[in-house]
Amino acid sequence: MTRKRMSAENRKKSIIEAAIHVISRLNYDCATTALIAKEAGINEALIYSHFKSKKDLQLATLDYLLEYRIQKYASNPVFQSQNSNHSIIRALIDQYLKETQDPDVDMFDCLLKSLFAIDDEIREKGRDIISTIHDFNRKNVIEDMHRGFLKTDINIDIIAWEMLGKILMVSILAVIGNLQQYGIDNFKESINYFEEAFLHKRPVKKNKTK
């Protein structure tokens, strides 16, 4: 029985996913194309049919990771019109918390390691990802303000960075295996302080101007 040939798009994706696993075990500098090819179960030369170089593959891996994370969070039901009476920030934080119970460690690991890579372009791409996630958070902070969940005397950028900081903190703890040692209850308490400081429990209706 002949094996079904993988499409070029699926092959490229499989190489990227193999790169994620190798980078998470090692780092961007030590993840050679030979190791990635072995992880993917292909000939090393096949990698260069889809990517110009190891760096090209690694940059594509980071683009893939960013798209995956943003799509995952953007698919949260809170963004559906029928759920406009719910806080986006609270729903996303709940989603982050659930993911810490069963974290996709390889992906978190790759994102974090990009910030400490030797290569300048890899580090810059990592910083771009952090900035993009911040912008995603900022947009949702603004929407929560429109929905009536945010207090009026707040700095939008600070709230967005607060959210990102909590994501990064729990990601680092998950990657280094210290999440349980820190204690998920402590992290939840930190979230509660954040929500009490900035979020209304129920949307506040805006007064209509006459």
What is the chain's pLDDT, residue by residue, as a tens digit (210 residues)?
A: 444 677 888 999 999 999 999 998 889 999 999 999 999 999 999 999 999 999 999 999 999 999 988 898 899 999 999 999 999 998 988 887 777 666 566 777 888 889 889 999 999 999 999 899 889 989 999 999 999 998 777 888 888 888 887 777 777 776 666 666 666 677 778 778 878 888 888 888 765 444
Nearest by Cα to 100 from 168, 158, 161: 168
Answer CATH for 55-198 from 1.10.357.10, 1.10.10.10, 1.10.357.20, 1.10.287.470: 1.10.357.10
How far apart CA 134 and CA 159 sit, in angstroms, is 10
Q: Provide CB contacts within 8 A for 194, sequence distance 6+.
A: 93, 162, 166
